[in-house]
Structure 1
């Protein structure tokens, strides 16, 4: 539970862009790049292992940046930052782009399942 002295971080869209850019930059720092590479190697493209190895490292890297902007230095702070960014994505294409770049740094590319008639049937229209 957060202490009473902890103020929730409130960033403007412009501030959110700055923080997003700093977070993305943090992933390219040599020590963080090594940490992420090791985590990805351990995960072997297995989604369960990605959650086990990659996500915690990515969370730590983000925490190191966002704590300077008033977010708590824990998973909850990262979630609050993510929700804030998400709230600006629809209004600001630059934030949406930066957010996509950030996610691409630690989320594996998603492949869509096959669909259509070749996938084994169709949905009946009502």
Structure 2
């Protein structure tokens, strides 16, 4: 068996932090699963309670926990074990969202786990800081 005939197991990415769409789905599924573990679910719940639906406190309490949960998974796939690694992973996933509906769906699910739903102001409420004349 030559080196070109290796079985198609989950290959390591060619470059640190670069994944194919199929690999990205696997990693994304693992990240989502990690948020569902009892320990991480408890950590996220505590962070949500501390944030009290305050956006500033969400950034202070919830985002660091969410970042850590993702780091713990993605470091095994060549991403750096820091905030920059999570940002690179997020950009990679974003790049596949328009090409793959399954990735887009999973990405939305992941975001919903740590980002509050965005509510738009009522139509016509204020000018949004834009001067009108």
TM-score for the superposition, normalised by structure 2: 0.82
**1:35 and 1:106 mapped to 2: Cα distance?**
12
Consecutive unaligned residues in structure 1, runs of 5 or more: 1-6, 122-126
Match of 1:59 in 2: 67
**Are 1:19 and 2:27 an aligned pair?**
yes
**1:17 and 1:89 mapped to 2: Cα distance?**
11
**Are 1:79 and 2:92 an aligned pair?**
no
TM-score for the superposition, normalised by structure 1: 0.87
Secondary structure of the structure 2 residue equivalent to 1:83: helix
Offset at residue 16 of structure 1 (A): 0.3
RMSD between superposed Cα atoms in Å: 1.4
**Are 1:96 and 2:104 an aligned pair?**
yes
The answer (yes or no) to whether the contact 2:34–2:69 under 8 Å persists in 1 is yes
Offset at residue 8 of structure 1 (A): 2.8
